[in-house]
Structure formats: structure tokens, C-alpha cells
């Protein structure tokens, strides 16, 4: 039985493989899960931002999570992303995540309308009330227009409403303040969503990462974590340098087209993002292919779109 309080390490923020017509590609989900598990990841996060959850309808979200849980087959824990602007919809997604086998839900605050911290508190308290799953906070203000202030997060954590946070703000001052606020709660999970901040986040006491590059090079991210855990900081810094370069390479096109393009070149899935986002064009794919080849991250036989 997986316990959220013990979660540490690397969780890929999973891409959602889709067919050209936008349908969920379940065989490709199976390939993706085997790909990341072969890299040694410690858990899985479907239906986050990289997973295009805000662009998928309810039926597609349920199909994705069911396919990920089935493919994981109990080998690692699955945490489900929940991004809803309506309280009832957020609750429904959390309940569905529990029914389909997730061990926790990573919940973003309501988006579209800017909200104050009192509303943030009320939202998470209402989601957590009667929730069948532990709740982690998803701080990604560039997408939601809402910063979950460290003091707000500390209030929710100390009252037992939430059990962790994924911080994707890329604001290291924010991350440090969260770590300081949680020093007396060693079971509280603090995960960075920034590929380029993992080494620094671990040094500050973070639990690990939920990140996009772990789709493409899961072993690279795991080796950084492992090097840090054994006290090899020079090695960890070197691995961080490599991840920064990879993250830069796959941040091309309209997100997450670069990630899907890389996975396509690796033979994992087709390159199609959810509509209306376009796949990378051939010049961009050629540049990406060249960089992945240099790093020996290409498949022997890429898929045909």
C-alpha cells in the first residue's frame, strides 16, 4: 500500500497520447508508462498541465486515468491532476480519481476569475471535506492567475486539509518560503514542477519533482535524484545541467507540442496535441531530432504520424 507521506523522488507529469482526431490513444499510454517505468520513476501524475487536462472532456479524462492505472499495475503510485474552475466539478474529479485507483489528487485552484486568499482557503477546505483522497495543492499561477501564498498553504497544511504541494511557479524564493513554513511538518510533500530547479529544490528539503522532462528522459531525472540522495552533489549538479538543456529543447512550439514531438521521435506516441494546438512543423521536428540524437535519446524506429 502506497502512503502519500512517504512519497519521494521523480514523477513524470505525463503527456496524454492522442490520435490525430483527438481520441485518447490507450496503447500509446501503455508504451509511455513502460518507457518511464524503465527509467526508474517513483510515481505517475496523469492529467496535469503537460497532460492537457484543461483541453480534455470528462470522458477523455476518465479514460486517461483508467489507462494509466491499468498500465501501472500497482508498480508505482498514481496521483491524479484536477483542474476545474467549479467546486462541484473539482469534487467530482477527485471522487472519480479515487474510484479509478489514484492514491491522491493534485488540485489546482479555480482559474479564470482572480481570487483572494480567503477564497483559496475556502476552496481547498470544501474540496477536502469528505474527500476520499488526500489533497495536494497545485501552485501554477502563470496558468491560474492565483498564487497560493506560503502562509495560506501553511494554514491548510497545519490544519490537515492538504498533505502536499507541487510548485510550478518557477519562483525559487516562493519555494524556499514554503519549505521554511513546513519545517515542522516532515510528512508534508513539497514537490517542484520546474525541471531546472530540481537540484536546488532538493537542497532546500524538497521531496522530489513532478516534471515534464521525465516523459522524455526519465532516467536522466532519476539519476539526478539518486546522486543527490547518496550525497554526490557534484554529480547531481552535472545531471541538472543536462536536464536544463533538455528542458530548453522540448520547450518549442505551443506547449506541449515539443514534448509530444520528442515522444513521437522516441517511438512512444503520435505528435498530436489536443486541438486547437498544432503539432511541431517539420523544421522544428528536425531541430529537435538533431538534439535528441546528440543525447542518444532517439528511438531506433520512430512512429509514423
**CA–CA gap between residue 160 and residue 140 (Å, rounded):** 22
Question: Domain span at residue 78?
Answer: 4-232
Q: Cell numbers of 301, please?
A: 524506429
- Residue 62's pLDDT band, with cuts at 50, 70 and 90, is very high
Judge whether residue 3 has pLDDT over 50: yes
- Starting from the edge strand earliest in sequence, which strands make up the sheet with 208-211, in order? 9-12, 208-211, 189-192, 164-167, 135-139, 104-107, 79-82
Residue-wise pLDDT tens digits, 181-214: 999 999 999 999 999 999 999 999 999 999 999 9
The answer to whether residues 267 and 237 touch, using CB atoms and an 8 Å cutoff, is: no
Structural domain tally of the chain? 1
For residue 125, is it within any domain? yes
For residue 70, is it within any domain? yes
Does the annotation mark 3 as catalytic? Answer: no
For residue 160, is it within any domain? yes
For residue 205, is it within any domain? yes
Instruction: From the candidates 63, 124, 166, 174, give the one annotated as an active-site residue.
Output: 166
For residue 81, is it within any domain? yes
pLDDT for 305: 44
Q: Cell numbers of 255, please?
A: 506547449
For residue 68, is it within any domain? yes
Judge whether residue 301 has pLDDT over 90: no
CATH number where 52 lies: 3.20.20.70
The pTM of this model reads 0.96
Q: Where are the alpha helices (DSSP H) in 48-171?
A: 58-72, 87-100, 117-128, 141-144, 150-158
pLDDT for 275: 96
**What is the average per-residue pLDDT within 242-249?**
98
For residue 80, is it within any domain? yes
Mean pLDDT of the chain: 96
For residue 294, is it within any domain? no
Instruction: From the candidates 138, 174, 294, 304, give the one annotated as an active-site residue.
Output: 138
Judge whether residue 304 has pLDDT over 60: no
Does the annotation mark 138 as catalytic? Answer: yes
Amino acid at each position: 500500500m502506497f502512503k502519500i507521506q512517504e512519497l519521494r523522488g521523480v514523477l513524470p507529469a505525463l503527456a496524454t497520447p492522442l490520435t490525430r482526431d483527438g481520441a485518447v490513444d490507450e496503447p500509446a499510454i501503455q508504451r509511455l508508462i513502460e518507457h518511464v517505468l524503465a527509467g526508474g520513476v517513483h510515481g505517475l501524475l496523469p492529467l496535469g498541465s503537460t497532460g492537457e487536462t484543461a483541453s480534455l472532456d470528462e470522458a477523455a479524462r476518465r479514460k486517461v486515468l483508467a489507462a494509466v492505472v491499468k498500465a501501472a499495475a500497482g508498480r508505482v503510485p498514481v496521483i491524479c491532476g484536477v483542474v476545474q474552475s467549479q467546486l462541484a466539478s473539482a469534487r467530482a474529479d477527485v471522487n472519480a480519481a479515487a474510484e479509478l485507483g489514484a492514491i491522491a489528487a493534485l488540485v489546482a485552484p479555480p482559474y479564470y476569475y482572480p481570487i483572494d486568499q480567503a477564497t483559496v482557503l475556502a476552496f481547498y477546505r470544501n474540496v477536502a471535506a469528505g474527500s476520499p483522497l488526500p489533497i495536494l495543492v497545485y501552485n501554477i499561477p502563470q496558468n491560474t492567475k492565483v498564487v497560493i501564498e506560503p502562509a495560506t498553504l501553511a494554514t491548510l497544511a497545519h490544519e490537515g486539509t492538504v498533505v502536499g504541494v507541487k510548485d510550478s511557479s518557477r519562483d525559487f524564493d516562493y519555494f524556499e518560503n514554503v519549505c521554511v513554513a513546513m519545517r515542522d511538518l516532515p510528512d508534508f510533500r513539497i514537490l517542484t514542477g520546474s525541471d531546472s530547479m530540481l537540484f536546488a529544490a532538493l537542497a532546500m528539503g524538497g521531496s522530489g519533482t513532478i516534471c515534464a522532462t521525465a516523459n522524455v528522459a526519465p532516467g536522466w531525472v532519476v539519476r539526478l535524484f539518486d546522486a543527490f540522495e547518496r550525497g554526490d552533489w557534484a554529480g547531481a549538479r552535472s545531471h541538472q545541467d543536462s536536464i536544463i538543456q533538455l528542458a530548453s529543447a522540448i520547450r518549442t512550439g505551443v506547449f506541449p507540442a515539443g514534448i509530444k514531438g520528442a515522444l513521437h521521435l522516441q517511438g512512444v506516441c503520435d505528435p498530436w496535441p489536443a486541438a486547437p494546438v498544432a503539432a511541431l512543423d517539420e523544421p522544428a521536428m528536425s531541430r529537435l531530432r538533431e538534439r535528441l540524437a546528440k543525447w542518444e535519446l532517439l528511438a531506433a524506429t520512430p512512429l509514423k504520424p
